[in-house]
A and B are shown apart, each in its own frame.
Chain A
Amino acid sequence: MHAEEKLTYETWPAEPEKSTLEAKNKFLGFWFFLGGETVLFASLFATYLALKDKVPDSTHHLAKDLFELPLTFVATMLLLTSSLTSVYAMYHMKNFNAKKMNLWLVITLLLGAAFLVLEIYEFNHYVHEFHHTFTSSAFGSAFYTLVGFHGGHVAFGLLWITTLIVRNAKRGLDLYNAPKFYVASLYWHFIDVVWVFIFTVVYLMGMVG
């Protein structure tokens, strides 16, 4: 099969994300990239755990003073749901339904953007209410770096998926762009998984002390 071929619903392969050599390479290469990203976040988590609550003096707030579960719970739900909607999008991609795929991707984007808004609100809240900033303590530096790296990944994902939707809006699916959508959704799942760990390690473990 060639990437440029015009396909129909009948000739669309079962696994369009890996039905050409280029697609197979992209699929595997992206998994490896996510492997590297895992180590990257593992290093950030380790740094955070080493510096958690490490502040210069007792006027600074600690994790247990800062975090509030309702806000992070909502953020978590938004991001988890967006992962589910991206699965729906891929389901329609595999069924050669570009329209429905785009619809679900847009929903994914909206959920992701809502998550990002909450995160910005949260950071703003810490800075103004608690004077917990990037430069105020080692704890602050580690917190904003870990959670901010994740937020940056979400922002990049939003731009990436938006670009994909706009670029391919008029021409529908083919074997050249299907793998692109697929790896973008893999990326989206990955940042969702990272968030699950942030929610556990930073917020839940932060609340209990």
Chain B
Amino acid sequence: MSTYAQKKGFGATLWDYLTTVDHKKIAILYLIAGGFFFVVGGLEAVFIRIQLAVPNNDFVSAGLFNEIITMHGTTMIFLAAMPLVFAFMNAVMPLQIGARDVAFPFVNALGFWLFFFGGVFLNLSWFFDGAPDAGWTSYASLAMASKGHGVDFYVLGLQISGIGTLIGGINFLVTIINMRAPGMTYMRMPLFTWSTFVTSALILFAFPPLTVGLVLMMFDRMFGSNFFEASMGGNTVIWEHLFWIFGHPEVYILVLPAFGIFSEIFAMFSRKRLFGYSSMVFATVLIGFLGFMVWAHHMFTTGLGPVANAIFAVATMAIGVPTGIKIFNWLLTMWGGSVKFTTPMHYAVAFIPSFVAGGVTGVMLAAAAADYQYHDTYFVVAHFHYVIVGGVVFAILAGTHLYWPKMFGTMLNETLGKITFWLFFIGFHMTFFIQHFLGLWGMPRRVFTYLPGQGFETSNLISSLGAVFMSLGVIVLLYNVIMTSVKNERVGNDPWGDGRTLEWSLPSPPPFYNFKQLPLVRGLDAYWLEKMEGKKGMTPAEPLGDIHMPNASFLPFVIAFGLFVAAFGALFNMDDKAWSVPVIIIGLLITFGAMFLRSVKDDHGFHIHKEELMEDDNDKGVKA
């Protein structure tokens, strides 16, 4: 099995990626697919800003505007931010804990393909009489009234990709609990691993309510049930609850890994141990726990009553405490450190004031009485873009620069990286800072235009100009990616020179089995400890022996594809098309047939023998 060192043709490479169960390759798949959807969602954002640049604009119609904002939100959350975060979790977390792969490599691949087909299905709505138009929250009162198939694409597409996310979460949990290297105790785990762990637990408990909500909506729209039909006894508030019981933890599912990436960056480029490590762990867990207690703050104006509103308001404000702990820990990590302003560090430093601004408006919104004023205005739009762009997107961009060498074996250009940063940073604040004021002045969100003479013109124009800067930033990043891939200057294990955790003790990219011998972990920042004692690498915790590896498989692709087919059948069932039921059945047969095959066919994996591992030492120059 040492064929990996040879050059492969395009077809073979494609097949390799379609069947791979290697977490590093799956990470690349997530990065490419997530990056693609990020660009799609970004284009939708640009369309929104063009439409709103001047009053009474007719760049898009009101109906199309609804479709664009819905798809922008849905795409960015489910198809861009989550997969990009998953890309880094897959690429880095197993290396950080000293594991050779995740616990369920097959399931890992299945999770990716489910997300991918769900995302493709959702975006195909553009080509079948219209995209979903009920907002990314798809409130039932709007969604049930939506004509055409847009909302059906939303329901089925998210259902498929949601299953993928859920099994991914289970996979990471088990990996972290069962597969840590000798000496890697919980309190020696890098913060990114900790945040992956807590995030996965949130995924496990937050996604099932979404699953149920989507099932109910699917039944209502496609199979004639009455969950949200008030005249039949139904109640649309059920959707709001189910959606936000999922939706609020979802925010933390996105932002905790962002915190993890920044924690790594602050420690690395301050060249200091992370300040208050154990309080960071504590704060991460506490945020994860409190994240489930606050969903109704999205529903203050629904009319749950003053008692419910008061409880959820106080719980929401309480989240500010662990988050504050984290902010101060990051600041104190830099304090007295020997700070190096690399591109990732630029994002990290910019993240603190940006995210704090989003947090402060969050506490303002948490005051239930005041929220009646802010609700459904641009103030809310400004708030959540400050936390999601200022927190999550900054982290994703930072992580892209930071982990690019580990994933691809070559460094992104630092100068271009900093240009990207400044364009994106300025554009971001230009776009969204002014929106706080637009909201306070009364501009409602989700409305496709505004009239002249209301004092919204200049501010909206500034906001739209900001979007130009952000777009330029992304274009520079894409240019950077292409340039560095063409040049392809190979780098060593620790290209930043300041690596602290285990992933930097391995070649870039690591061999497919990651660790020839599992490393012995002697403390927090395991690799840094060894470097400080003058050692070149980790001390092995085991003699060189055979390594057990999983087999590649095409089945994950087939299982996900079957659901994709079945979803088309379900979608057209409401049109009474004769072929809809057979299509559902064929799709489900493909899925369950592939699952059946997986169940009855033994898959023991294979062993890489000791001799082959020793040979690898001799041809070190050759890279996969």
Contacts and interface: CB of A to CB of B under 8 A. Distances in A.
Given A32-B174, A54-B233, A141 B602 contact: no
B16 interface: no
Contacts of B1: none
B215 interface: yes
A97 interface: no
A24 B178 contact: yes
Interface stretch (A40-48, A86-94, A108-116, A201-209): A40-48
Interface stretch (A76-84, A120-128, A132-140): A132-140
A35 B245 CA distance: 16
B261 to A, nearest CB: 24
Interface residues of A, number: 38
* A3, A4, A138 interface centre (most CB from chain B within 10 Å): A138
A149 to B, nearest CB: 8
A55 B226 CA distance: 10
B205 A39 contact: yes
Contact of A25 (B178, B213, B232): B178
B178 A51 contact: no
Contacts of B600: 163, 167
Contacts of A50: 235, 238
Contact of B177 (A28, A39, A135, A164): A28
Contacts of B171: 29
A198 to B, nearest CB: 15
Contacts of B103: 25, 28-29
B227 A142 contact: yes
Given A21-B178, A25-B174, A141 B227 contact: yes
B204 A176 contact: no
Given A25-B103, A56-B232, A138-B234, A39 B209 contact: yes
Given A56-B233, A167-B599, A135 B215 contact: no
Interface stretch (B84-92, B216-224, B280-288, B566-574): B216-224
| Range class of the B interface residue count | 35 or more
A50 B225 CA distance: 15
A55 B234 CA distance: 8
A19 interface: no
Contacts of A3: 604
SS of A interface (majority): helix
B225 A145 contact: yes
Interface string A2-20: 0110000000000000000
Given A32-B170, A43-B212, A163-B596, A176 B604 contact: yes
A99 B602 CA distance: 21
* B177, B232, B241, B245 interface centre (most CB from chain A within 10 Å): B232
Nearest to A3: B604
B170 A40 contact: no
B126 interface: no
A176 B120 CA distance: 36
Interface in B421-464: none
A61 to B, nearest CB: 13
B204 A36 contact: yes
B238 A56 contact: no
Given A138-B233, A145-B219, A163-B600, A33 B209 contact: no
Interface string B14-41: 0000000000000000000000000000
A199 B205 CA distance: 24
Contacts of A44: 212
B183 interface: no
B408 interface: no
Interface string B150-177: 0000000000000000100011011101
B216 to A, nearest CB: 7
A37 interface: yes
A55 to B, nearest CB: 5
A3 B607 CA distance: 13
Contacts of A163: 596, 599-600
A136 B212 CA distance: 20
B252 interface: no
B211 interface: yes
14 contacts: A29-B170, A32-B173, A32-B174, A35-B204, A36-B166, A36-B204, A43-B212, A46-B238, A135-B225, A138-B232, A139-B233, A142-B227, A145-B216, A164-B599
Interface of B: 103-104, 107, 166, 170-171, 173-175, 177-179, 204-205, 207-209, 211-213, 215-216, 219-220, 223-227, 229, 231-235, 238, 241-242, 245, 596, 599-600, 602, 604
The 6 closest A-B pairs by CB, nearest first: A54-B233, A138-B233, A141-B225, A40-B208, A43-B212, A138-B234
Given A39-B208, A141-B226, 8 more contacts: A25-B104, A36-B204, A36-B207, A43-B211, A56-B233, A135-B225, A138-B226, A145-B225
